[in-house]
Amino acid sequence: MIHTAAMAQDIYDPAFVADVFDRCSARYRRWSASAAFGLIHAWRRACVTALDLPKADGTHGVDLMAGTGEVWPHLLRRFPEIARITAIDISPRMHTEAVARLHGARADRIAHLCANMLETDLPDASADFAVSTFGLKTFNAAQHTAFARQLARILKPGAPFSLIEAADPKGWVLRPAYRLYLDGVLPGIERVFLRGAQDFAMIGTYTKAFGMGQTVTEALHDVGLAVEAKPLVGGAAWIWSGHKPG
Ligand SMILES: C[S@@+](CC[C@H](N)C(=O)[O-])C[C@H]1O[C@@H](n2cnc3c(N)ncnc32)[C@H](O)[C@@H]1O
């Protein structure tokens, strides 16, 4: 059975999650793009397309669980007038990768905050928009509630958000092949090519527990955000988009 060492620990402990991504950081971009056959780019673009930001001029937004900032090119292409993005991530090395390798040219518009999103003290009603790509599966249900509270607190009244996450497409006809890929093929490739590492392989464990992201939908509703949940590719990913009323 895979991940026995990880199973002995709490895989939702923020320190555990930060360590996993610190170890993945150097190879994150290439691995995530190739493991998802490039689909991940289309999904990030879809997340940005779902962000209903009528006037981007001079706006200050947040990228939550930003990682290496893969969504920024999509965001700044669609909304070139954005003034500033604050990128929040708990993994110091994901931030380092973002700055050093990918986004130097955009550096003046990105502020990096190495922090736990579930506890960050970013000011109330300070963000004109929020995006998050693939950062929700490493939270459990209680953490989805904490995340939703933080999101509702940080957004300005009326501000839009768009979130995307890979899920476990229960009921989809291709689910068995999808699960075999996530739970068997990917861990095997990682073991062979990354000298026994089992970090990227954690995606299988996390997506299975994440299910269809029902706890995200409920948490966003419960904190009073207006939200619509939409499946992509038979439910292999979900987008939650909406706004803070007011
Ligand atoms: C799968 S990566 C996604 C990165 C990026 N958004 C993307 O689209 O590729 C998930 C990121 O969430 C971050 N993360 C996990 N838990 C967090 C927390 N509690 N607070 C802030 N960041 C967190 C991880 O460090 C990691 O960089």
Instruction: Indicate which residue's Cα is closest to atom 17 of ligand 1.
Output: 90
Q: What is the pLDDT of residue 66?
A: 95
Tens digit of each residue's pLDDT (9 = 90 or more) over 14-28: 999 999 888 888 777
pLDDT of residue 182: 84
Nearest Cα residue to 47 out of 244, 245, 232: 232
CA 185 to ligand 1 center in whole angstroms = 23
Taking each helix axis as running N to C, give the angle between helix 28-35 and helix 39-49, from 0 to 180 degrees, rounded to the nearest 10: 100
Q: Is the pTM of this model over 0.85?
A: yes
Q: Quick check: 3 pLDDT over 60?
A: no
Kindly give the distance from the C-alpha atom of residue 151 to the centroid of ligand 1, in angstroms, as a whole number: 15
* Domains of the chain and CATH, by start: 4-243 (3.40.50.150)
- Distances in Å between the Cα of 28 and the Cα atoms of 31, 97, 238 are 5, 9, 21
Instruction: Please tell me the predicted confidence (pLDDT) of residue 37.
Output: 67
Q: Which atom of ligand 1 is nearest to the CA of 120?
A: 20
Q: Is pLDDT at 245 greater than 50 in this prediction?
A: yes
Of all protein residues, the one whose alpha carbon is nearest to atom 19 of ligand 1 is 116
Residues 6+ away with beta carbon under 8 Å from 91: 17, 18, 21, 22, 25, 67, 114
More confident: 44 or 106: 44
In tens, the pLDDT along 128-182 reads: 999 999 999 999 999 999 999 999 999 999 999 999 999 999 989 999 988 888 8
Q: Please, what is the average pLDDT of the chain? A: 89
Say yes or no to pLDDT of 1 above 60: no
- Measure 169 CA to ligand 1 centroid, in angstroms: 21
Within 6 A (CB) of ligand 1 lie: 14, 17-18, 21, 32, 44, 65-67, 70-71, 88-91, 94, 116-118, 133-135, 138
Report, as an integer, the average pLDDT of 193-197.
61
Cα of 122 from ligand 1 centre, angstroms:
17
Q: pLDDT, tens digit, for every residue of 56-94?
A: 999 999 999 999 899 999 999 999 999 999 999 999 998
Give the ligand 1 atom nearest the CA of 21: 25
